[in-house]
Structure 1
Amino acid sequence: MAVVLISKSPSVLVKPSSDPATSAAITDYLSLIGLTSYDEPNVGRPVTAFLVFDRPIDDPAETIRQGLSLALVPYYPISGRLATAFLACDVLTAIDCTGDGAGVPFVAASADAALRDVDLRGHLEELAVFYPAAGDPLLRPLLMVQVTVFSCGGFVIGVTWDHSIADGAGMGQFLRAIGELARGMPSPAVVPCRHDLSLAGMPSAFVRVNRLVNSLQPSLLTLLHLAVPYSLVSRIRQQFAAAVNGGHPCTAFEAVAAVLWRCRTRAVMSESDPSAPALLGFVADTRTHAGARDGYYGNCCYIMPPVGATSGAVAGGDVVDLIWMIRRAKERIPDYYNSSMDEEDEDGRRLQELADAGLLGYGNMLGVSCWRNLGMDKVDFGGGTPARVMGYMKEGMGRLPCCVCLPCEDGGDSFSVTSLCVKEEHAGAFLRELASLA
């Protein structure tokens, strides 16, 4: 692979192309938008995604900059800043849409090599703008964008955002809107909604799960880029369908999650005895269950109360059986919104008991999220959809060992997974377990 030099131009601040307050596209303009119970826990949490386009368009940086400026009219909160708000005796965090310095920092960059000659995984830190390691979230932009054009004409757009403004599905919706407006559409195909008073509050079980995850002691984890073969996933899906007497196959995500759960549990078994818990937490989009309005792009994707089993049962179990556990957990999502508070929080209390007993940590928990249905692979700035979507995970300390399933690559023969879920001493065993299933 070629050594690549990436040159960046000075950052410019992109603002809405017209005043959102007077735009005909805005019917419910608000200068101060309160965060929901789903948004609040994500304040100051950065997320970075990369969309790789191998087909040239005319002046990618300027095309995307103009599309961004147009999209920031209907999506005006994204150009705002977080601020402290006061409601009666409560101190809240809100999005200030009128403050000085509002806008999205935008960087145009160029690379002196062709995309096909570069291993992008070794250059991700040069392909986006990142927040400083320390700093007040109230003083920084909610979104930053970099467009890097390669010598072949292909380009990479790197987007970094504060998770409080949007979850992955919401950011995918916004990026598609930039593409639509950059291609000349008069308005986005989806009318955006950020202020939604009808949104149901976050179930207490979700609150407890995410609080406990944030309280875990960090572990030094190794970054791995994994490939789960299509052939393996297809075989597992067929086995699952056969096990339910000719029923529908499981989803690809359920198959991949079960594989990762079993392989990781086997790799770290030395850290725990077979009777110790092995928990799988997965991120679910609960928009439908929370009653979110169409076009809502705030947060509604959260870690569910984890699927629970013993380490021995997961390590020695059949993958089909693990899929059934995951499937049953997914089917329970509506219950968290329909049951009484006491029934709703039973899973949360059970998890708290494990935490109090010192049974939550590196050897016992795995989180899995999926970017395959976020819509980022549908973004089109004029030359077609991305050949690849990548996430950013920095090797080092992590609280929840996790894996992210990424959209499929064009022409690939496997599902791409970015993993920060094992320590270095367990990485070899984890990779061998994956290889043994292929």
Structure 2
Amino acid sequence: MTGAVVTKSSPVVVVPSESKQTTTPPASHTVALSSFDLCMLPFPMKLVLAFDRPIHEPVETIKRALSRELDHYQPVAGRLDGEGGIACTGEGVVFVAASASCALDEAMASTLQEMDLTVSCPGVFCRDADPLLLVQVTEFSCGGFVVGVTWNHLLADGAGIGQFLCAVGELARGVSPPSVTPVRHWDDALRGLPTTMVRAQRSTVDNNGSRYLVRHDIAIPLSLVSRIKGESGGCTAFEAVAAVIWRCRTRAVASPADDSPAPLCFPCNVRALVGAGAGYYGNCVVGQVVPATSGAVASSSIADLALLVRRAKESVLDLLLPGSSGHGEARHQGGAQAAPLRWYDSLGVISWVNLGFDAADFGGGRAARVIWHEDRTLLPGCMVCPPCRGDAFSVSSLCVKPEHADAFLRELDLLGIQYW
């Protein structure tokens, strides 16, 4: 399908509904950023949820629910204070209503990821004065709609935004108050991150700006994942998918004899390990690294690579110990050195499965598609997105330069993996 047009209205600001009922906004207070928040850069993350079942007036329904939800999630309507906190000023979030000139099923079959379905921040990084959340609701000619969400990563991680969107959906369906009581304040009694690790985590990302890479949408067959799980002795689906992309990408960008670093990076949700309670929606992830050389990755079986990922996941508790360098015991696996990495050396793989994105329901049922809606990234990477597409895992990829794209696709072909 070609020629689909998205028409946007002018942005408006949605504020907490309670502040609309008074002549002055509520008194602001400040939520301190935790050590987990401070590991993050203020990079805007973009998410698209596609709903193929119509609801009544999706734009107004979601806009009203969003306003009411900000009463419960006051930091979301605030601003960074420039001093390590979020000031709950009640200034609100940006909201854009839009319409598309095609049916949603047409777009999902081909160009959904290329359409203008999210609101962009002015720069590569979010500024302190910028809204922490920007939402666009796009209605399609068939009655289906898309909710596009852009958020400052300092506000929340994926699990936190998933919780927030599910709560907006509950209010849109008439469920009030939300079933999960939100918590943004970090209890000082909980385990935080060592200072050395905060510095190390931030230093693993090149913060000189995002880079444009070739986008691919990939469907990794369940049959392939099952085979890898069997050969590895029981790895998880994420570990299998990460290993597939890691080897294919490494073979595409480096020669088999290359001994340059080719580490795999992935975040781990550590809420259970640090004692964060139910409803906490701030950042609570740490980045884990599986170091290896290009030659080792290119020559290894996918099952063996999946086991490397598993061992790194199992050692994540080491990252939380005082004196941690931020890379845990995995730093010593595979022969890689601890020297700083060049931007294109690393591959990041993130899972958006089980974060609640596909559970958000604004009145017509769950999302039919969840899409990582980026055209640039700080680190070459992939997003494993729910739900599975038929009998395959859906992966959104920005991991190779144009000159390596053909070789990357040839590696996928060898494994019988579809892409577009």
Residue 183 of structure 1: aligned partner: 173
Q: What amino acid is the match of 1:93?
A: G
Residue 400 of structure 1: aligned partner: 379
Shift of 1:314: 1.4
CA contact (8 A) 1:206 1:302 kept: no
Distance of 1:433 and 1:213 partners within structure 2: 27
Shift of 1:171: 0.3
Q: Which runs of 4+ in 1 moved over 4 A?
A: 19-22, 122-125, 215-220, 342-351
Residue 266 of structure 1: aligned partner: 251
C-alpha distance 260-151 of structure 1, shift in aligned 2 (>3 A): same
CA contact (8 A) 2:7 2:98 kept: yes
Residue 89 of structure 1: aligned partner: none
Distance of 2:257 and 2:142 partners within structure 1: 53
CA contact (8 A) 1:205 1:347 kept: no
Q: When the two structures are aligned, how many residues end up with a matched partner? A: 408
CA contact (8 A) 1:43 1:137 kept: no
Residue correspondence of structure 1 range 379-394 to structure 2 within 5 A: 379-394=360-375
Distance of 2:269 and 2:282 partners within structure 1: 11
Distance of 1:69 and 1:424 partners within structure 2: 42
Distance of 1:263 and 1:159 partners within structure 2: 30
Q: Which secondary structure does the structure 1 equivalent of 2:213 belong to?
A: strand
C-alpha distance 4-217 of structure 1, shift in aligned 2 (>3 A): closer
Deviations 1:218-248 (A, max 9, x none): 765322222212221122122223xxxxxxx
Deviations 1:13-37 (A, max 9, x none): 1111115999xxx9xx971111112
Residue 414 of structure 1: aligned partner: 392
Shift of 1:192: 0.3
Distance of 1:342 and 1:8 partners within structure 2: 48
Q: What amino acid is the match of 2:40?
A: N
| 328, 334, 345: which one aligns with 2:311 | 328
- Verify: 1:9 aligned to 2:9, yes or no: yes
Residue 251 of structure 1: aligned partner: 236
Shift of 1:319: 1.3
Shift of 1:170: 0.3
Q: Which secondary structure does the structure 2 equivalent of 1:33 belong to?
A: strand
Residue 346 of structure 2: aligned partner: 365
Distance of 1:163 and 1:377 partners within structure 2: 19
Residue correspondence of structure 1 range 129-278 to structure 2 within 5 A: 129-133=119-123, 137-198=127-188, 199-203=190-194, 204-205=196-197, 207-214=199-206, 221-241=213-233, 249-270=234-255, 273-278=257-262
Deviations 1:239-294 (A, max 9, x none): 223xxxxxxx3211110001111111111223x84333321111111111222121
- Verify: 1:53 aligned to 2:34, yes or no: no
| 389, 407, 412: which one aligns with 1:429 | 407
| Higher mean C-alpha displacement, 7-16 vs 207-216 | 207-216
C-alpha distance 194-399 of structure 1, shift in aligned 2 (>3 A): closer
% of aligned pairs identical?
Answer: 47
Distance of 2:148 and 2:245 partners within structure 1: 27
CA contact (8 A) 2:315 2:328 kept: no
C-alpha distance 266-135 of structure 1, shift in aligned 2 (>3 A): closer
Distance of 2:111 and 2:382 partners within structure 1: 16
Q: Which secondary structure does the structure 2 equivalent of 1:138 belong to?
A: coil
TM-score, structure 2 as length reference: 0.89
Residue 87 of structure 2: aligned partner: 96
Distance of 1:435 and 1:422 partners within structure 2: 16
CA RMSD after TM alignment = 2.8
TM-score, structure 1 as length reference: 0.85
CA contact (8 A) 1:127 1:156 kept: yes
Q: Give unpaired runs (5+ residues) of structure 1.
A: 85-91, 242-248
Residue correspondence of structure 1 range 331-370 to structure 2 within 5 A: 331-337=314-320, 339-341=321-323, 354=337, 356=339, 360-361=341-342, 364-370=345-351
Q: Which secondary structure does the structure 2 equivalent of 1:420 belong to?
A: strand
Distance of 2:147 and 2:283 partners within structure 1: 22
Distance of 2:165 and 2:317 partners within structure 1: 29
Residue 109 of structure 1: aligned partner: 98
Deviations 1:175-229 (A, max 9, x none): 0000001101121111100012234222434641431323689765322222212
C-alpha distance 343-70 of structure 1, shift in aligned 2 (>3 A): closer
Distance of 1:48 and 1:283 partners within structure 2: 17
